[in-house]
Amino acid sequence: MTATPKISIRDLKKAFGPKVVLNGVDLEVGVGESVVIIGGSGTGKSVLLKCILGLLTPDSGSIKIDGQEVIGLPADEREAINRKIGMLFQGAALFDSLSVWENVAFGLVRAQGMSRREAKPIAIRNLAAVGLPPEVADLSPAELSGGMKKRVGLARAIATKPEIIFFDEPTTGLDPIMSDVIDDLIVKCVHELGATALSITHDMASARKIAHRIAMLHAGKIIWSGPVSELDHSGNPYVDQFIHGRAEGPIQMQVSA
Partner 1 sequence: MNPIAVIGRLFLAFLAAAGRIAMFAGVAVSHCLRPPWYPQLIGRQMLDIGYFSLPVVGLTALFTGMVLALQSYTGFARFSAEGAVATVVVLSMTRELGPVIAGLMVAGRIGASMAAEIGTMRVTEQIDALSTLSTNPFKYLVAPRLIAGLTMLPLLVLVADVIGVFGGYLVGVYKLNFNPAAYLKRTFDYLEFMDVMSGLVKAGAFGFLISLMGCFHGYYSEGGAQGVGRATTNAVVSASILILVFNYGITEVFFATR
Q: Give the footprint of partner 1 on residues 7-66 (CB under 8 A).
A: 50, 53-55
Asked if residue 89 binds partner 1 (CB under 8 A), the reply is: yes
Q: Write down the least CB distance from residue 83 to partner 1, Å.
A: 5
CB-facing half-sphere around the CA of 252: CA atoms within 13 A: 3
Give the whole-angstrom CA distance, residue 79 versus residue 236. 39
**Near partner 1 by CB under 8 A, which window of 18-26, 88-96, 190-198, 241-249?**
88-96
Count of positions (residues) in the chain: 257
In order of 97, 133, 181, 224, the CA distances from 112 in angstroms are 21, 25, 30, 39
Q: Write down the least CB distance from residue 235 to partner 1, Å.
A: 37
Q: Considering only residues 85, 158, 186, 214, which one is a binding residue for partner 1 as defined by CB under 8 A?
A: 85
Q: Write down the least CB distance from residue 1 to partner 1, Å.
A: 26
Name the residue nearer to partner 1 (CB basis): 86 or 242.
86
Name the residue nearer to partner 1 (CB basis): 153 or 213.
153
Q: Considering only residues 111, 125, 135, 232, which one is a binding residue for partner 1 as defined by CB under 8 A?
A: 111
Q: Write down the least CB distance from residue 165 to partner 1, Å.
A: 10
Nearest to 201 by CA among 248, 167, 162: 167
Q: Write down the least CB distance from residue 233 to partner 1, Å.
A: 37
Asked if residue 143 binds partner 1 (CB under 8 A), the reply is: no
Give the whole-angstrom CA distance, residue 54 versus residue 241. 32
Residue 208 in contact with residue 34, Cβ under 8 Å?
Answer: no
CB-facing half-sphere around the CA of 16: CA atoms within 13 A: 9
Name the residue nearer to partner 1 (CB basis): 102 or 203.
102
Residue 152 in contact with residue 92, Cβ under 8 Å?
Answer: yes
DSSP calls for 190-231: HHHHT-EEEEEES-HHHHHHH-SEEEEEETTEEEEEEEGGGG
**Residues within the interface to partner 1 (CB under 8 A):** 50, 53-55, 75, 79-80, 82-83, 85-87, 89-91, 93-97, 106-107, 110-111, 156, 160, 166
